[in-house]
Amino acid sequence: MAQLYFYYGCMGCSKTAQALMMRFNYEQQGKKVALLKPTVDTRTPEGIVQSRIGLRSEAISVRREDNISRLFVEAKNSLPDIIIVDEAQFLTERQVDQLKDLALAGFPVLCYGLKTDFQTHLFEGSKRLIEIADSIQEIPILCKCGRKAEVNARISGSRIVKS
């Protein structure tokens, strides 16, 4: 049975690089991969997923009003074997529910994203993923202080900003 997976971590922990490596690995096995990215993410151009280490790939852009299930229903002849979502924290609750439906229909769905913002509030997409994902896994990274990073901090000068 296919499942809905959520891989989360702080900024800089290689979430996007891991998503792109998973895409590569599945494609090497002859699998068709659908890579999705919410348009709310403006770190890279629309329709492009790019990691900080330079890995890059084209992706299907998803707007907040898009019905993700419908994207695949309308593409009957080119259904993917697996769905990978980068920046999943920017999905709506409804879109995460649609991804769960796709997993229940037999499509493995791998979501990568942040869990919380710099004020430690859950993002809408992350909150729903935590509620319904079949598997939740943290991707750890070390803080500059040497301990495990636990939150995304907004820095101004040398101080942490909380508002």
Whole-angstrom distance, CA of residue 121 vs CA of residue 119: 6
Whole-angstrom distance, CA of residue 126 vs CA of residue 29: 29
Whole-angstrom distance, CA of residue 41 vs CA of residue 143: 24
The one catalytic residue among 65, 87, 124, 150: 87
DSSP 47: T
Indicate if 138 belongs to the active site.
no
Amino acid at position 147, single letter:
R
What residues act catalytically? 87
